[in-house]
Amino acid sequence: MKPFINNQFILIGCSLFFIFLNSCEVDKSTKIIDEDHRIIPVTEASESWLPIQTTNGYLSAVLGPYADADVLSLAGGGFRMYVGSLGVRNIVSFYSADGLVWSTEEGIRISNAAFPDALHLSDGRVRIYFQGAGVIESAISSDGGLIFEKESGVRINNGWYDSLDIDQVGDGSTVGLDNGSFRMYYRGADEDSAYFNNMKTVILSATSQDGLNWTPEPGVRVAPEDWVEPHAPNNTRFVTSPEAVMTSSGNVKLYFWGVGMCHGVCLGVSADGLNFNIVEQVYANADSPSGNNIGDPSILPLENEPWLMFYGNGSGVDYGIWIAKRQ
């Protein structure tokens, strides 16, 4: 389960979100929710995910006080996972040769930071966007992603977004566009007593030509009102944790997580990166190893093998980052 962390409080969410926008003609009332909160769609989901089982039970990547995983493929082979260390607000990392078995890398990658969003730059460096004090900042690495130096300035600030007075931004997911620019999807939070934990959260987007100077795009990509369970009141609704994947056809797959909507990992698909019209529940909370809430999906889109998902789940000794596989 993914905590929503800033410098003042921790917000624990519990489920994920469905979005229906104007071109999707499905009647919301026809969605069926069973007793385990599995969404039974009008049509079958285009993909589904399940936890990986071994002879010793379900497969976890990292157990302990960690959340908000982001996995990066390394140029020389293998993978690096950046995670938030809960309670102390540091970003640390783990290494894996195969994406399944992970070992600790000593040291702190970035201090006083949460919600890592890592990407390779064309010059071989690695940049991580992260949430600082309610804004999105960045750090740069020239050694492949181990030693980072914080870059000056703020990448994406809080403030007015159309009619929303956004108090905090964070939890980004960045993709490269065909023209060499970047788009980041990220969570914005606006204090509103009518919503869950007195915060209305939405998923927004911004673009940048150089990765440093960002321009927010008009409108909201995902809002808590877009699709909800029948009769779910506003104070149970919450959306966050976007994870964007560019497909070979040029579509954007946006996985995300919410409260008071669907219960699990859900998927929206967009042809233009702005309007997400196809919505599916692809991994239900009830199917997770613990049956607890699935949070903060990070997708590793492997070329010749099933994709992997790294997500926060569990409680007590089972808390940590777990692994699911696309079926």
Give me 157's structure tokens. 């600030």
Question: Which stretch of 31-40, 132-141, 248-257 has the lowest confidence by average pLDDT?
Answer: 31-40
Query: Any idea what DSSP says for residue 29?
Result: G
Cα–Cα distances in angstroms (integers) from residue 51 to residues 48, 101, 285, 309, in the given order:
11, 15, 11, 9
Mean pLDDT, rounded, for 151-168: 91
CB 282 within 8 A of CB 45: yes
What confidence tier does 30 reach under pLDDT thresholds 50, 70, 90? Answer: very low
Average pLDDT over residues 166-170: 93
Q: How confident is the model at residue 12 (pLDDT cuts 50, 70, 90)?
A: very low
**DSSP designation for 156:** B
Torsion sign (Cα): 63, 66, 67, 69 = negative
| Closest to 223 in 3D by CA, of 195, 183, 263, 252 | 195
Tokens representing 179? 């023209």
The answer to whether residue 145 scores a pLDDT higher than 80 is yes
pLDDT of residue 11: 35
For residues 60-68, average pLDDT: 93
Give the C-alpha separation, 115 to 255, whole Å.
16
Give the pLDDT mean for 158-173: 89
pLDDT digits (tens, 9 = 90+) for 223-271: 877 665 555 666 667 788 999 999 888 899 999 886 666 677 888 889 9
Query: Bigger pLDDT: 262 or 49?
Result: 49
| φ/ψ of residue 143, rounded to 5 | -115, 25
Distance between CA atoms of residues 73 and 96, nearest Å: 10
Q: Which of 309, 242, 267 is nearest to 50 (CA)?
A: 309
Report which of residues 27 and 200 the model is more confident about.
Answer: 200
- pLDDT > 60? residue 91: yes
Q: Is the pLDDT of residue 119 over 90?
A: yes
CA dihedral sign, ordered 245, 251, 257, 263: negative
Distances (CA, A) of 138 to 164, 175, 216, 269: 24, 15, 16, 27
Strand 66-73 and strand 79-85: the pairing is antiparallel
Residue 281 is classified by DSSP as E
Helices and strands of the chain, counted as H and E runs: 0, 29
Which pLDDT band, with edges at 50, 70 and 90, does 38 fall under?
low
**Dist CA 283 CA 281 (whole Å):** 6
Mean pLDDT of the 207-229 span: 86
Instruction: Answer yes or no: is pLDDT of 10 > 50.
Output: no
Distance, in Å, from the CA atom of 186 to the CA atom of 134, rounded to the nearest integer, reads 12
Q: Which domains does the chain have, with CATH numbers?
A: 3-326 (2.115.10.20)
Please check the confidence at residue 198 and state whether its pLDDT lies above 90: no
Pick from 87, 80, 50, 85: which is nearest to 68 by CA? 85
Q: Is 146 left (phi over 0), alpha (psi -120 to 50) or beta?
A: alpha
Terminal Cα distance for the chain, rounded: 22
How high is the mean pLDDT of the chain?
82
Task: Please report which confidence band the pLDDT of residue 37 belongs to, taking 50, 70 and 90 as the band edges.
Answer: low
pLDDT of residue 200: 83
Alpha-carbon span 99 to 91, nearest angstrom: 19
What is the average pLDDT across 53-58?
A: 87
User: Residue 234's beta-bridge partner residues?
Assistant: none
Residue 288: predicted pLDDT: 84
**DSSP 3-state of 34:** coil
Q: What is the pLDDT of residue 3?
A: 38
Question: Comparing 17 with 164, which gets the higher pLDDT?
Answer: 164
Question: Rg of the chain's alpha carbons, rounded to an integer?
Answer: 18
